[in-house]
Amino acid sequence: MKKVIIASTSTLHGGDYLDYLVPTLQNHFVNCKTIVFIPYARPGGISHDEYTAKVASAFAKINIEIVGVHTFKDLKKGIQEAQGIFTGGGNTFLLVSQLYKFNLMQLLSETVKLGTPYLGTSAGSNICGLSMQTTNDMPIVYPPSFQTLGLIPFNLNPHYLDPTPDSTHMGETRETRIKEFHAFNAIPVLGLREGSWLEVNGEKIVLRGALTARLFLQNQEAKELETGTDLSDLK
Identified catalytic residue from 97, 109, 125, 137: 137
Per the annotation, the verdict on 159 as an active-site residue is: yes
Identified catalytic residue from 122, 125, 131, 196: 122
Identified catalytic residue from 109, 159, 182, 196: 159
Average pLDDT over residues 43-55: 97
Average pLDDT over residues 170-179: 86
Mean pLDDT, the chain, rounded, equals 96
Q: Which residue has the higher pLDDT, 198 or 167?
A: 198
Domain architecture of the chain: domains with CATH: 3-163+170-225 (3.40.50.880)
**Which pLDDT score is estimated for 163?**
79
pLDDT per position as a tens digit, 175-222: 999 999 999 999 999 999 999 999 999 999 999 999 999 999 999 999
197: exposed, middle or buried (C-beta count within 10 Å: 0-12, 13-18, 19+)? buried
DSSP 168-203: ---S--HHHHHHHHHTT----EEEEPTT-EEEEETT
Q: How many CB atoms lie within 10 A of CB 76?
A: 15
Q: What is the pTM of this model?
A: 0.96
**Which pLDDT score is estimated for 153?**
98
- Per 3-state DSSP, the chain is made up of helix, strand and coil in percentages (nearest 5) of 30, 20, 50
From CA 232, how far away is CA 216, in angstroms rounded?
15
55: exposed, middle or buried (C-beta count within 10 Å: 0-12, 13-18, 19+)? buried
Q: How confident is the model at residue 229 (pLDDT cuts 50, 70, 90)?
A: very high
